[in-house]
């Protein structure tokens, strides 16, 4: 089940894609990671999907990653008389803690932390930015606002507070229950929503570490402009990052989102951390069997920029054409990676290695593989570190990541270029070379006469010791 591409595909599961047949079809079409969206569905629903994924993994003998996406705090207005109201531009609107149904003059906003953070002149965005308010007066339990951009407002629409650091944790009581469930049920990645500051990631890390034996990895979703102000620190504390362009685009001017996307991707590449581009990538395919040309270009841009993975949300969770959406994304990625300009861009964007032995070896592995036209780069890794550093170099050759740890193999399904192989730990150089030759042939990455580049750490099985580079040639088959 070899993928003839480097960038990975994340498919969100939902009502349109929760049967064994549907999930297998998504995998065959190209999905490498399955996202469980904890904003929807019960624990029983998610458990059923986990069971199906693990059964599929056993069937196809390929590590498959599960990404548990926590909901995070949701700021919403309350109910309105008749379910909706029309709010005119230029009018005044009071937001308060009164739970009574709202009108065109006042609306319930039962979030005291919002009022605590407001200042005169602060802006509030309602319903994904469709309505815009400016705070004129405020107190501990109210805010009098002027409607800058009006429109229709209905029950439970979202509220965004741009350019304000809200005094709330990214982990609600619901998130804490979901986090415990996901860790106990063997999720490989936890996506943390509403990250505003480095401390938010540290808090989640502490909670994950409290589960003895858990090595689940944390992916920070960048949805708030305040997170961009602490970008480098958040990346350092995270195992991966997601550019959540939907929420980011609500609170930031739309014209800045592409610039922020490139900045985040660049910073993640520098740190050697996987980065995912998400939200509305093939949005029209929710109800159409083919995307718009603009959407195809959007996916292609993320691949040219070096994203590790691109994500489908409603397209596969609730759309009419989930398999077609994955198939299309797979086609776009393969087409871009075969473009001669893709290699030129990859070369131009390559970063200087850090002054460490593992980065020196990883950079050398790419250079040697390029020079000798190797068939593949084989990494032997116990934690995933060697594979991550080689993937940072964006080599032309596929990366076969050999590990004895199924959790590591699954986690690397999110990483650019990594094709994980489960194998017993090697104990000698001779065994290592033979294993590299065997797996590249059995996985159809190399043939007799090809050469492979091997990166590993000595002593074997010790995390973070990438310090060895080897070239091995697969001897041609002898004929009688």
Q: Does the CA dihedral 137-138-144-150 come out positive or negative? A: positive
Please identify which of the residues 5, 49, 217, 221 carries the catalytic annotation.
Answer: 221
Please identify which of the residues 76, 185, 266, 350 carries the catalytic annotation.
Answer: 76
Q: For 72, which DSSP code? A: -
Helix (H) or strand (E) holding 153: strand 151-154
Q: Beta strand pairing status for 8-13 and 309-312?
A: parallel
What Cα–Cα distance (Å) separates residue 188 from each residue in 35, 46, 217, 367?
A: 10, 14, 6, 31
Q: In what order do the strands lie in the sheet with 123-126?
A: 106-108, 92-96, 142-149, 131-138, 123-126, 159-160
First-residue to last-residue Cα distance in the chain = 33
Q: In what order do the strands lie in the sheet with 418-422?
A: 418-422, 399-403, 376-380, 451-457, 466-473
Among 278, 274, 299, 311, smallest CA distance to 394 is for 274
Among 435, 369, 432, 438, smallest CA distance to 399 is for 369
* DSSP E strands, 14-83: 33-37, 65-69
Tokens encoding 445:
């990455």
76 as an active site residue: the answer is yes
Reduced DSSP (H G I as helix, E B as strand, rest coil) percent helix, strand, coil of the chain, to 5 = 40, 25, 40
The alpha helices in 272-304, defined as continuous H runs, are 293-304
Q: For 17, which DSSP code? A: S
Burial 325-361, CB ≥16 within 10 A → b, else e: bbbbbbebbbebbeeeebeebbeeebeebbeeebbbb
Among 219, 188, 193, smallest CA distance to 66 is for 188
For residue 451, the cross-strand partners are 473
Please identify which of the residues 279, 379, 403, 465 carries the catalytic annotation.
Answer: 279
74 as an active site residue: the answer is no
Phi, psi angles (nearest 5°) of residue 25:
-65, -40
Among 384, 406, 380, 379, smallest CA distance to 395 is for 379
430 as an active site residue: the answer is no
| Whole-angstrom distance, CA of residue 121 vs CA of residue 1 | 56
Among 73, 121, 84, 77, smallest CA distance to 98 is for 77
Token pair 């033979």 is found at 434
Please identify which of the residues 5, 35, 224, 392 carries the catalytic annotation.
Answer: 35
Return the active site residues: 35, 76, 221, 279
């Amino acid at each position: 089940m070899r993928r003839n591409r480097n960038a990975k595909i994340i498919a969100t599961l939902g009502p349109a894609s929760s049967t064994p047949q549907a999930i297998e079809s998504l995998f065959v079409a190209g999905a490498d990671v399955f996202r469980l969206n904890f904003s929807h569905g019960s624990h029983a629903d998610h458990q059923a999907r986990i069971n199906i994924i693990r059964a599929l993994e056993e069937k196809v003998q390929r590590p498959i990653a599960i990404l548990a996406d926590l909901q995070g705090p949701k700021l919403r207005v309350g109910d309105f008389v008749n379910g909706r109201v029309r709010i005119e531009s230029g009018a005044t609107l009071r937001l308060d803690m009164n739970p009574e149904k709202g009108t065109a003059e006042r609306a319930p906003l039962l979030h005291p932390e919002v009022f605590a953070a407001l200042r005169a002149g602060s802006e509030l965005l309602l319903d994904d930015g469709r309505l815009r308010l400016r705070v004129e007066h405020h107190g501990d339990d109210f805010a009098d606002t002027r409607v800058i951009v009006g429109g229709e407002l209905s029950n439970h629409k979202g509220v965004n507070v741009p350019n304000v650091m809200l005094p709330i944790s990214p982990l609600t009581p619901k998130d804490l229950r979901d986090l415990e469930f996901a860790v106990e049920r063997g999720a490989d990645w936890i996506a943390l929503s509403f990250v505003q500051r480095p401390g938010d990631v540290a808090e989640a890390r502490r909670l994950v570490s409290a589960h003895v034996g858990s090595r689940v990895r944390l992916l920070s979703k960048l949805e708030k402009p305040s997170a961009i102000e602490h970008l480098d620190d958040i990346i350092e504390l995270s195992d991966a990052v997601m550019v959540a362009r939907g929420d980011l685009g609500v609170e930031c001017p739309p014209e800045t989102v592409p610039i922020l996307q490139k900045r985040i991707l660049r910073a993640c590449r520098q740190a050697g951390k996987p980065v995912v581009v998400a939200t509305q990538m093939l949005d029209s395919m929710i109800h159409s069997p083919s995307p718009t040309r603009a959407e195809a270009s959007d996916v292609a841009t993320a691949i040219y920029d070096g994203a590790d993975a691109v994500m489908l949300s409603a397209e596969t969770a609730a759309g009419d054409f989930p398999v077609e959406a994955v198939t299309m994304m797979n086609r776009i990625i393969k087409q871009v990676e075969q473009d001669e300009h893709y290699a030129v861009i990859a070369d131009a964007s390559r970063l200087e290695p850090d002054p460490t032995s593992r980065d020196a070896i990883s950079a050398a592995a790419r250079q040697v593989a390029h020079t000798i036209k190797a068939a593949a780069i084989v990494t032997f890794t116990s934690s995933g570190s060697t594979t991550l550093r080689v993937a940072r170099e964006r080599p032309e050759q596929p990366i076969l990541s050999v590990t004895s740890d199924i959790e590591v193999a699954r986690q690397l399904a999110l990483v650019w270029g990594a094709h994980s192989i489960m194998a017993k730990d090697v104990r000698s150089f001779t065994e290592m070379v033979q294993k590299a030759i065997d797996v590249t042939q059995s996985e159809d990455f190399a043939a007799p006469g090809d050469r492979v580049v091997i990166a590993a750490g000595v002593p074997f099985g010790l995390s973070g010791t990438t310090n060895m580079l080897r070239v091995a040639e697969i001897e041609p088959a002898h004929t009688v």
